[in-house]
């Protein structure tokens, strides 16, 4: 019911009105999930006993034009009692024959639907609150499911998707412009759900239509205890190396194992340049650049150039300097 009167009554109910029905709630709470009850059951009437004066019940039935109601208890979830109520045309205090007959198959279907919906809403609310804090970080961040569906995303990631440069605002999921990049992103997300995945499997690049430096995509696994027990969630990060304030190798410098030349090469790798591009920018030969990348990789204990990018991200937290 979507009438103004129905919505007003719903608001009153949520505020604690309808005290005439409150004793019935206590009775329903004691019953087993799947039980079907008429007013005679929930008010524990003896045979031949009339229903107590209940203006709230009459007002509720008037909204639907019904003469009686039947309750199907669905489940107990934390502080809630989930019930389904049918309004029937027959004037009786007994349970509806139809709901009594169909309750056996309606009960599990409705109870799981309501319970799952509540859990999902709760999870999304928690993630949206966390991502409101992430809006002070100048990279895209979002919580996603194994299929890439986004539960929530911060402002930066939403803007990246709306720009349509490397990501697309298509459905509510992590979707790339190029199909080849989509495969890589999907592999990253899948790897994040694998406890045995290597760190190198969690970072990839996403090319851009504009020809600008590719986005850097990172998937971070969240275990059950970090957010909500039993949930399978990945934190997806998207960094734009064109934003030079985000590109830092100070964490790598702090390790104390790289030469200044190697640190400079790592900086340009973190910005998304390939070895030839780095050689051009630094005015060195391609062979020298490759040798420096190889040396830096050996000192850092990594095998891929993208792992250097991953390490530079992992050793720096790019906090925004803008005011909230």
Q: 213-246, pLDDT tens digit by residue?
A: 888 898 887 754 444 444 568 888 888 877 766 6
Q: What angle do CA 49, 52, 54 make, to 5 degrees?
A: 145
Q: What is the CATH number of domain 247-314?
A: 1.10.10.10
Three-class SS state of 153 = strand
State how far the alpha carbon of 252 is from the alpha carbons of 247, 265, 268, in Å: 12, 12, 13
User: Do 135-239 and 247-314 share a fold?
Assistant: no
Pick the more confident residue, 302 or 127.
302
Share of the chain above pLDDT 90, in %: 19
Fill in the DSSP letter of residue 173.
B
Looking at the chain, how many residues does it have?
Answer: 324
Q: 135-239, superfamily in CATH?
A: PAS domain (3.30.450.20)
Find all residues with CB under 8 Å of 92, minimum gap 6, and list them. Answer: 38, 67, 68
Q: Quick one: CA dihedral 310, 316, 322, 324, positive or negative? A: positive
User: For residue 247, what pLDDT is reported?
Assistant: 63
Rounded to 5, what percent of the chain is helix, strand, coil?
50, 15, 35
**Mean pLDDT score of the chain:** 80
Reported as a pLDDT band with limits 50, 70 and 90, residue 323 is very low
Task: Measure the CA–CA gap between 275 and 161, rounded to whole angstroms.
Answer: 29
Mean predicted confidence (pLDDT) in 136-144 = 78
Pick the more confident residue, 170 or 120.
170
pTM of the predicted protein model? 0.48
Mean predicted confidence (pLDDT) in 190-217 = 84
Q: Domain 4-121: which topology? A: Beta-Lactamase (3.30.450)
Task: Measure the CA–CA gap between 125 and 132, rounded to whole angstroms.
Answer: 11
Mean predicted confidence (pLDDT) in 124-152 = 72
Q: Where are the chain's structural domains?
A: 4-121, 135-239, 247-314
Cβ distance 238 to 217 under 8 Å?
Answer: yes
């Amino acid at each position: 019911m979507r009438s103004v009167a129905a919505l007003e009554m719903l608001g009153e109910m949520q505020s604690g009105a309808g005290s005439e029905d409150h004793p019935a709630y206590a009775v329903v709470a004691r019953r087993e999930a799947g039980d079907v009850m008429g007013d005679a059951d929930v008010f524990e009437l003896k045979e031949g006993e009339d229903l107590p004066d209940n203006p709230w019940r009459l007002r509720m039935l008037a909204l639907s034009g019904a003469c009686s109601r039947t309750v199907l208890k669905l489940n107990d979830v934390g502080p809630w009692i989930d019930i389904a109520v049918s309004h029937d045309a027959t004037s009786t205090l007994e349970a509806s024959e139809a709901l009594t007959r169909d309750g056996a198959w309606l009960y599990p279907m409705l109870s799981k639907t309501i319970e799952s919906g509540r859990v999902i809403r709760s999870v999304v609310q928690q993630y949206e609150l966390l991502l409101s804090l992430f809006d002070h970080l100048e990279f895209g961040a979002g919580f996603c499911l194994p299929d890439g569906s986004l539960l929530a995303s911060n402002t930066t990631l939403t803007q990246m998707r709306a720009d349509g440069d490397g990501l697309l605002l298509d459905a509510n999921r992590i979707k790339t412009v190029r199909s080849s990049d989509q495969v890589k992103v999907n592999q990253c997300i899948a790897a994040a759900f694998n406890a045995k995945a290597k760190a190198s499997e969690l970072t990839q690049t996403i090319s851009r239509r504009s020809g600008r430096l590719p986005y850097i995509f990172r998937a971070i696994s969240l275990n059950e205890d970090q957010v909500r027990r039993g949930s399978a969630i990945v934190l997806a990060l998207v960094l734009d190396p064109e934003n030079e304030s985000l590109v830092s190798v100070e964490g790598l410098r702090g390790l104390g194992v790289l030469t200044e030349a190697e640190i400079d090469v790592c900086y340009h790798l973190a910005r998304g340049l390939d070895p030839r591009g780095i050689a051009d920018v630094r005015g060195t030969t391609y062979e020298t650049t490759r040798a420096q990348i190889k040396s830096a990789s050996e000192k850092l204990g990594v095998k891929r150039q993208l792992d250097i990018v991953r390490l530079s991200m992992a050793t720096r937290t790019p906090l925004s300097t803008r005011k909230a």
